[in-house]
Structures are given as C-alpha cells and as structure tokens.
Amino acid sequence: MQNQDLTGRRALVTGGASGIGLATVTMLARRGAKVAMNHLEDDPAGKEQVGRLKAEGLDVIAAPGDVSILETAERMVEKAVADLGGLDYLANNAGISGTKDPIPPADLDRIGEELWQALLATNLVSVFRVSKAASGALKEAEGAVVNTASTSGLGLQGSSIPYAASKSGVVSLTRSLARALAPKVRVNAVAPGQVATPWTADWPAERKQAALDKSLIKRHVQPEDVAELITFLLTGAKMITGQTIVIDGGMTVS
C-alpha cells in the first residue's frame, strides 16, 4: 500500500498550497498521480508550490479558486476535472480558524455572525459544494473522497465554538455523502489533533507543549503523517466508508 503506484490516477486537493494539503499533493504526486492543487487565487504560495513540485518532475497543476464561494468552487472543480481528464480522488482539506488566539467557549461576545458565516462557508459548506460538483466524475472513476475534519469535531474544544461546530458538521457530512455517493464512491474523513503546519507555527510554545504532554507517542503530528492517512483512505481502504479516523498520536485517549 505504502508505495502503491498511482500512475494514471487523477486527484484534486483543496487548500493544497500549504500544511496538510501540500503534503497530500506531494505524496499523491510522488506516487505517480496527476494532482490539481487548489489554492486561493491571490495566495502566492499556490504558484510557488506548483512550480517547485513541477521542477521536481511531478505532474501537478494549479486549480485556483475560493471554495467558500459557490460559483468559484464549482468553476474550479469543473476546470480541474477537465484539465485532469477525470477525477479519482478528492481531498476536501481547505479550512480556516478565523481567529489568531483560541476563543474560550464562555466568551460569547467574541463570537459574531461574521465568524459563523466564514467558518461554516469555508470549513463545512465548501465540502458539500466541491463534492457535489465533483460527484459525476468521481462516480465515473469509482473514486474516493477524504475530508479534513478535526478532533474538535468529535467533542474536543477547538479554537472556537463555530470552528468545532463546523468540524462536527464535516463528520456528519462525511456519513451523509458516503450514503449519497455509494456504492461507487467511498467518503471518509481524517480528524487530526494538533499538527505542525503553518496554521500552528505561531502558537505559543506552552500550547504546543501541552499537546505533546497529552500525546502517547510523544512527538508532534507532522503534515506528512496526515497525508499518509488521507492517501490510504483515498487509494486503499476499499471497505471503509462513512468513517472519521482520528490522527493525534493518542492525545485524546491519554
């Protein structure tokens, strides 16, 4: 499974220009897949990372478009599927926290409509929109979908009430989409704890140490660890669908 040859397979990864998304693009492409890297249109990392991976000899193309907006999400998927010549694998990974520091649950005054709208549109509704737009191509290829949820979607506090709710929504939507796209397409999710990506890079050392203290495996989860699980759920795992798999080094069972 580890070194499965994915030559001839086609993949789309949203939020693919950094962190978990970039590690997933890289892993799929290094195994031979042609990969469309979705990124925000104005994010310079998109162009940079596509150029860097192409220079490595990998078959990676850009798929710019904001997945939180219906029209751009649909247009992005349509073009990516056309450019790739079909679609075997979809990773719905784009996400935001909408806040630099965590908002304690009791601090209701810091949670406004704007934060709700932004987090639901980007973290949850985008997953439905992108999957719906890609569903025809995925069914044709008998492909698979993996969504990036979070341990906060399974009861942990997370960075804010709307963030946790958006990720709980992803867990629920994963089951619903598994029913909707069966039997041809499998749909699963990964639920990372704290991962060492640009997302967490500026977090205070104490917050990172607290995660390490709770971890059973005693090292930070790396983007490549999550990419490996996403790749397994996309390309192997033939009898797994509708599931959300926690990847947190045992943090939530310690």
Active-site hit among 65, 125, 147, 163: 163
How far apart, in whole angstroms, are the C-alpha atoms of residue 60 and residue 119?
A: 28
Q: Is 244 in the site for ligand NAD (CB under 6 A)?
A: no
Q: Which is nearer to ligand NAD, 61 or 140 (CB)?
A: 61
Has 89 been annotated as catalytic?
A: no
Query: Does 66 sit near ligand NAD (CB under 6 A)?
Result: yes
Question: Does position 231 bind ligand NAD by CB under 6 A?
Answer: no
> What is the CB-side half-sphere exposure of residue 236 using CA atoms within 13 A?
11
CA distance 119 to 157: 15
Quick one: which of 117, 172, 200, 222 contacts ligand NAD (CB under 6 A)?
A: 200
**Smallest separation (angstroms) from ligand NAD to the CB of 5:** 26
Interacting stretch for ligand NAD, rule CB under 6 A, among 87-95, 131-139, 177-185, 228-236? Answer: 87-95
Binding of ligand NAD by 40 (CB under 6 A): yes
Rule CB under 6 A: choose which of 8, 105, 198, 236 binds ligand NAD: 198
CB of 133 to ligand NAD, least distance (A): 14
- Of the listed pieces 10-18, 25-33, 127-135, 237-245, which binds ligand NAD according to CB under 6 A? 10-18
Binder of ligand NAD out of 150, 235, 241, 244 (CB under 6 A): 150
Alpha carbon of 246 to those of 120, 127, 151, 214, 229: distances in Å?
21, 19, 7, 15, 10
Which of 32/118 has CB closer to ligand NAD? 118
Question: If we measure between CA atoms, which residue out of 119, 181, 170 comes closest to residue 147?
Answer: 170
**Which letter does DSSP use for residue 120 in this model?**
I
* Interface with ligand NAD, residue 129, by CB under 6 A: no
The Cα 200–Cα 195 span in angstroms is: 7
Among 135, 197, 215, 231, binds ligand NAD (CB under 6 A): 197
Q: Which residues in 49-143 belong to E strands, given as ranges?
A: 60-64, 89-92
Q: Is the peptide bond before 44 cis (omega within 30 degrees of 0)?
A: no
Stretch that binds ligand NAD, among 33-41, 80-88, 136-144, 237-245 (CB under 6 A): 33-41
Q: How far is CA 79 from CA 22, 101, 106, 232, 249, in A?
A: 20, 36, 44, 26, 37
Which amino acids are annotated catalytic? 163
